Chains A and B, each alone.
Chain A
């Protein structure tokens, strides 16, 4: 679009106000080491990753680009749907069907001169540690808890206490209708997304029996078609929520059931919304939350003011449901958090000629553990489980095998549980004697 081409009078003019904040010493800068030039330069060279190019992602990309970040990557696997256009303002009707990350990147690059945005049209799970290691900051604008948990676990697991650059601050924004939150996670230092899982209301589910016997709302009829009728009739081998033919089948079924119970209101788009669990998105809530996230990124990157996350508050909730209410508080890190509560500790002096029994017995003698009935697993490999009995019997032969025979390697992570420590899971990294 030619009209989006903007040539500011001069680059310094564009950043004049921003530079006033970041290049001048303020009450929170370190007077001994502060050098304004260095701050602006560091921000320009900093690589920042945005996850999600949807409602929040569009806002984040625009804000970050206008805040002086010059090297931004964005990941989103989705393509643009016509229903996105009401709030995902970087997209136009002609973009429908194109990748969100791609279109958003090009738009912001055209609009803000000098910023480089690298799009990745894929899943976050397609990348490994080496990819995430290149960034200094990660900002999330996601609508799925699963994706958040994944990136959180990735960033926490990347922490290597010996390597300063392995600590990547994670700024996470989320919205639902008029509600939202912004939070900053300093992996292994402050409470992580897994610690805060209880802050996410689980998806409101309707009892199965209500769906089966006494539907009262159009949503109940749609859920019935989705959960019960689909399995009974299997019109297609696997439900593809993006296939219009499948949604049409569910819509027809729901409509039929709604008529049976005299329930009005079943429509194609409601069917799509219920089946895909589409959360109503309000454009301005995305703006509020993305703005908060972006300013935290700016403050973390430039140190120009205290930021959310350390040492006290790390979670800002915003609620516009009933007038406006915001509350910023400290969510405590959980010692028994399965992701950050138990960083794998090194388990040194392991002889690879040991049998698994030797290893299992050794946990009884470890002062921090003193485990009498340890069960031990590696990712994808059950080494020995004390319970339930069938699994104990299946894994018992492993006890007489050596660690090498079991395929364990130096540096491998194992999880150890014991009923005596009901809430704790121990994680260890095996370190073989050389």
Chain B
């Protein structure tokens, strides 16, 4: 039988490292890879002045809410929140992100699903939570009519930009747009 142990000892001799002194400690609960990675991402998060977080349970960093308050663009003055759910497969799989408020937006549907490439087809394990929140911020600055999730909002934006802006204001103020009623999200 192969002796990895002796190989390891040899490797350590090569590296001249003197680690692992002392007797073996009893094995206790290990921190999982997804949690370590989430911890790392969170400690590097740059939220700026327009974003904040909320952790319903601070001991569970895999589940939190991100608040976005755009300070420019068509959604300025509104306050939107996104639930972030990080699965045990993170970062192999992207975090699951959903908008909690009903929003009139070409790239977010009425259930809160977000069409952001890095949350789906373009996700890579090297991307981090910062990349995701930058992407979300961008959606508020530059709603994109060519990749619509809410087709009506996209057509509106394409055909009549001023009318779309008005409808965004109405929706954020708690009014109805095209027969769909929205909750007030203005701060």
Residues on A facing B (Cβ under 8 Å): 42, 46, 129, 136, 145-146, 149, 153, 157-158, 160-164, 167, 169, 186-189, 194, 197-198, 200, 202, 204-209, 212-213, 227-228, 231-232, 300-301, 303, 307, 310, 338-339, 344-346, 348, 373, 375, 377-382, 385-391, 394-395, 409-415, 417-419, 422, 425, 427, 429, 431
Contacts and interface: CB of A to CB of B under 8 A. Distances in A.
Nearest to B45: A388
A418 B43 contact: yes
B13 to A, nearest CB: 13
Given A228-B113, A307-B2, A338-B33, A388 B52 contact: yes
A40 B186 CA distance: 76
A122 B101 CA distance: 41
B28 A409 contact: yes
B54 interface: yes
Interface in B29-60: 29-33, 35-37, 39-40, 42-45, 47, 52-55, 58-60
B39 A385 contact: yes
Interface of B: 1-5, 7-8, 11, 19-33, 35-37, 39-40, 42-45, 47, 52-55, 58-61, 88-89, 92-93, 107, 109, 111, 113-115, 117, 120-121, 123-125, 147-149, 151, 154
Contact of A391 (B35, B58, B148): B58
Contacts of B3: 164
Given A167-B5, A303-B1, A431 B25 contact: yes
A387 B45 contact: yes
A42 B1 CA distance: 8
A388 B48 CA distance: 10
The residue in B1, B23, B35 that gathers the most chain A C-beta atoms within 10 A of its C-beta is B1
A200 B3 CA distance: 29
A374 B58 CA distance: 17
Contacts of A417: 36, 39-40, 43
Given A213-B151, A394-B58, A301 B52 contact: no
Contacts of A411: 25-28
Given A212-B151, A300-B2, A346 B33 contact: no
B84 to A, nearest CB: 11
B148 A162 contact: no
Contacts, number: 198
A427 B59 CA distance: 18
Given A169-B4, A417-B43, A379 B25 contact: no
Contacts of B54: 390
Contacts of B23: 162
A300 B121 contact: no
B53 A145 contact: no
Nearest to A187: B4
Contacts of A414: 31
Nearest to B51: A388
B78 to A, nearest CB: 20
Given A207-B121, A212-B148, A301-B1, A390 B7 contact: no
A200 B25 CA distance: 35
Given A232-B111, A431-B22, A382 B61 contact: yes
Given A164-B5, A415-B35, 9 more contacts: A169-B4, A378-B29, A390-B55, A391-B55, A394-B58, A413-B30, A415-B31, A419-B44, A425-B40
Given A189-B4, A208-B113, A213-B151, A162 B55 contact: no
Contacts of A208: 113-115, 120, 149
Nearest to A381: B59
Given A197-B125, A377-B35, A415-B35, A162 B149 contact: no
Contact of B149 (A204, A212, A409, A431): A212
A149 B33 contact: yes
Contact of B25 (A346, A394, A422): A346
